[in-house]
Structure 1
Amino acid sequence: MIRIVRFLVVLFIPFLMSSTSCDKDSESLPEWEWDNNEEDNNDKPRILWIDAAANFVDFANSKENILRDLQIAKDAGFTAVVVDVRPTTGDVLFETDVVEQVKWLGAWLEQGYSKVERTATWDYLQAFIDAGKKLELDVYASINTFVGGNSSSLGEQGALFRDSEKEDWATKLLTETGIKSTLEVGGTGAKFFNPVREDVQEYIFNMLEDLAAYDGLKGIILDRGRFDGIDSDFSDYTKEKFEEYLGYSVENFPEGVMSPDIKAGNLPSTLPEYFKKWLEFRAKVIHDFFDKAAARVKAVNPDLSFGVYVGGWYSTYYEVGVNWASPNYDTASEFPVWATPDYKKYGYADIMDIILIGAYASPTKVYGTNEWTIQGFCSQAMRKIKGDATVIGGPDVGNGAWATANDEVINNAIIQSVGAVMDVCDGYFLFDMIHLKKKNQWEVVKEGISNVISTENGD
């Protein structure tokens, strides 16, 4: 393992939040008025996510392109970027001997879904850190935490596919035809490890220690720090750990825990005997992993900001075994159908320095107070996190309804999203740089940011 400890002393800058909105003619503005937070908004971070695969054609082999686009992001008003350095292949774009380097990624180009090869030998993450330092732009590194491989029309990648000794690490899914490895089920997309396994966790911890050693890095954001889905994980290993947690054996497994027809958000009136305890156990697994991960990162660099990306849809996020709320938030009082009284004990917000909230509502749902509005996702997250961590929220401006809405609606939604988010949480977050580049929407997001922060001359 690389163990060169490179400490960084940095000022902590609060973080940014985001929200999306639509044309005033197609959506009424909110009836309420928020307090004027212009002065406070000046100091709130504005964070842009940079997905590895989507942006690889520009960045894989060009430091010049990295500096160019980070300059554009800075000019648009962003104060930080999150750089994806462990994409869904499970391989990496930073220096470590835990796992192999990324050799190619699949991306949508003009000719269709194609391979983009990396031939450069310089350190990908370090290039972003260097550019960020030159531009006074904070740089966070993100990893796809419990992903061990990826399958696509271009081929199979990652440790799960090339290392037979790690096949047991693949999550076991509950399907209509029984319990099967994610590798056996097939299909395209990310292939998850089993988060319950201690050897899997140690593998990730070792990787994080190498990442934390980068001088000049502002922080680490863990993406996909979760189970694959509600159908994961049903291995013998996890069954034994669940029984240890209960203190007794479960004879009717998996029937007493889950059935393959159960879907998050549409639970049957009668649940399996151990279903709610199973959700509680899974939340504890992820909570304890993050607790240990934070300790390992901080042991390398105590000044590093440690955080996580999660979806803002808390009401169904039990599907992936995650309780991102504060342990002081009583989940069962609001969601008694699926949460036990002890579920709140495994809220992990107090472990985090920063939580990025995916406020991924449609461009016609910018304002509001509840889930599935951009603003509502953020305000609900603030209520549940209770000040335990800095909350940065914002939209995905290129997927879902954003991919089909007309440009005028999208542009207005981006502009309105900045204020809608920053008025209710700690900062603004936008996914992804590639969307701004493809439609050349830099001036649009710049207008949104300029509308909610004061200029240097006070205009």
Structure 2
Amino acid sequence: MKKYFLLVSIFISLTSCSKNKPDPEYIEQEIPLDIDRASIAAKPIQMWIDAHANFSLFADKANITAYMEKMKATGFTEVYVDVKPGIGYALYNSDILPKLTKWGNVTVNRDWDYLAFWIQEAERLNMSVIASLSVMGYGYTKTKEGLVYDSQTWNGKTQLGMLDASKPTVLTDIRNDLTADGAMLNPCLPEVQTFVTSVIAEVATKYPKLKGIALDYCRWWSANYGFGDATIAAFKAYSGKTVNSNNDIITATGGIGPIYKDWIEFRSMAVTNLITNIRTKVKSINPKLELHLWASADWASRYGVGQNWASKNYKPTPSAIYTDTYSKTGFADQLDVFSLGAYTDNIFISENPGSVWSVENFVTTYDKFTKGDCKVYGSFASYAYGTTASKVSDAVYLSLKNTEGVMAFEISHVINNNQWGAIKAGIDRVYKK
């Protein structure tokens, strides 16, 4: 049985939302409310804890405790804790990486284990922790801080980009590209794969009470990154293609070159091979440890960064972008959970007709690509909705109703915009209070 109601009605009683100013352009929708809702939230309800945004806030154990309790009261059951962010230092007790104590002009010194304390508090509250790592990010380009800036050891191991296709021999080291979020390592190099896998294996080994490990930034930075002698040599060995110039891949005017689709398959396969190796290692340490990965929900844009999160059984039509064997680069079968990044301002398809860019579209069409190979949790960008409580509730509801879980990105935005009540309202539309 179902009944319908206007969304505005569920917010009248929410004190925390009564002060919010509604978005005048947002169109209220009628959404079914299941009468026979379960009384227990069987699906994971997750919060992402970003390392950089919360670097100072969670320097204090008391704040971790207070917000864990706040999340529990709201309905959250799991947290993603960012413990190896893109700067390349560790927020856990590592024997491989330096400890993260300074980021820009902020310094935080802890005499306690950050990740272990999150796990301790989660266990107390019957919640779970998934440790998130920026797989390829090892430096912060804005301030040139991080592991890849600390020594010359990393020369030749970071990604190189052809930023001006009219100058195919002029390559930029990502460490010098201020537009990049992170200085990223080259995933096709065997020594890089070995190194990043060892970092992930260390977390899996030292923290057996984790529910899972999440891979973030497991990709190439952008479509024009991945050049350089080592990568081109690996590409030629993989594809059997001749490369006379980088313009054979991307033309001098920025177009698609004659071997572009072979290049796309190669770059995607490099990422998939890395994920496969990581999974093998993680499962050898702890077979019960889940492997998660976050990526944008817009599958059609992911070829440029090498993230084919689809099933190997999903076969796109061969084109100037996709080879007839591109489907073998799908990595859904290597994941336990895919965190579907439905990060868009639009909630409903009707807000942006003819476009894939809405939360509703992403959370109702993903299985076309994944084909049941892994669990899929819808994640939404809480920062996109500010204090518009109805949008937050709608994003939670649609994600939780149509996928196997939901993740809010991320806690600093939830705090700053006081979205707790709206999130709880969205959960309560799926589960009884």
- TM-score band w.r.t. shorter chain: 0.7 to 0.9
Preserved CA contact (<8 Å) 2:309 2:330: yes
Counterparts of 1:349 and 1:40 in 2: how far apart (Å)?
31
Cα shift at 1:174: 0.6
Corresponding residue to 1:217 among 210, 213, 227 = 210
Preserved CA contact (<8 Å) 2:312 2:329: yes
Structure number with greater CO (CA < 8 Å, separation at least 6) is 1
Corresponding residue to 1:417 among 380, 395, 401 = 395
The residue correspondences of 1:2-401 to structure 2 (distance < 5 A) are 26-29=26-29, 38-39=37-38, 42-60=41-59, 62-106=60-104, 115-152=105-142, 155-176=143-164, 177=167, 178-186=170-178, 189-213=181-205, 214-250=207-243, 252-259=244-251, 261-262=253-254, 271-332=256-317, 336-363=319-346, 365=348, 371-399=356-384
Write the letter of the residue equivalent to 1:148.
Y
Preserved CA contact (<8 Å) 2:186 2:226: yes
Unaligned 5+ residue runs, structure 1?
A: 1-21, 107-114, 263-267
Preserved CA contact (<8 Å) 1:366 1:420: no
Cα shift at 1:28: 4.9
Q: 1:261 to 1:28 in 2, by over 3 A?
A: farther
The residue correspondences of 1:435-446 to structure 2 (distance < 5 A) are 435-446=413-424
Secondary structure (helix, strand or coil) at the match of 1:306 reads strand
Write the letter of the residue equivalent to 1:291.
T
Secondary structure (helix, strand or coil) at the match of 2:248 reads coil
Deviation sequence 1:354-393 (CA, Å, 0-9, x none): 0101101105547789621012112222221111111011
Deviation sequence 1:116-144 (CA, Å, 0-9, x none): 31211211110100010001111000011
Deviation sequence 1:207-263 (CA, Å, 0-9, x none): 01111020210100000000010011101001011001112432x23111113653x
Preserved CA contact (<8 Å) 1:332 1:344: no
Preserved CA contact (<8 Å) 2:136 2:218: yes
TM-score, normalised relative to structure 1: 0.83
Percent of matched pairs sharing the same residue? 27
Counterparts of 1:209 and 1:161 in 2: how far apart (Å)?
23
Write the letter of the residue equivalent to 2:96.
V
2:9 — aligned with what? none
Structure 1 range deviating more: 221-230 or 364-373: 364-373
Write the letter of the residue equivalent to 2:46.
I
Q: 1:188 to 1:234 in 2, by over 3 A?
A: closer
1:452 — aligned with what? 430
Cα shift at 1:56: 1.4
Counterparts of 2:128 and 2:258 in 1: how far apart (Å)?
48
Counterparts of 2:33 and 2:297 in 1: how far apart (Å)?
21
1:19 — aligned with what? none
Cα shift at 1:288: 0.7
Counterparts of 1:138 and 1:199 in 2: how far apart (Å)?
33
Counterparts of 2:331 and 2:136 in 1: how far apart (Å)?
17
Q: 1:76 to 1:24 in 2, by over 3 A?
A: farther
Write the letter of the residue equivalent to 1:27.
I
Q: 1:383 to 1:35 in 2, by over 3 A?
A: farther
Deviation sequence 1:373-428 (CA, Å, 0-9, x none): 012112222221111111011211115xx46xxx3xx2110111122122221111
Write the letter of the residue equivalent to 1:210.
E
Counterparts of 1:341 and 1:87 in 2: how far apart (Å)?
36
Preserved CA contact (<8 Å) 1:37 1:423: no
Q: 1:25 to 1:165 in 2, by over 3 A?
A: closer
Q: 1:33 to 1:68 in 2, by over 3 A?
A: closer
Cα shift at 1:184: 4.0
Counterparts of 1:352 and 1:283 in 2: how far apart (Å)?
16
Counterparts of 1:80 and 1:187 in 2: how far apart (Å)?
32
1:112 — aligned with what? none
TM-score, normalised relative to structure 2: 0.88
Deviation sequence 1:21-51 (CA, Å, 0-9, x none): x869832527x96987833983111111010
Q: 1:248 to 1:372 in 2, by over 3 A?
A: closer
Taking only aligned residues, the RMSD between alpha carbons, in angstroms, comes to: 2.3
Secondary structure (helix, strand or coil) at the match of 1:148 reads coil
Write the letter of the residue equivalent to 1:412.
S
Preserved CA contact (<8 Å) 1:306 1:353: yes
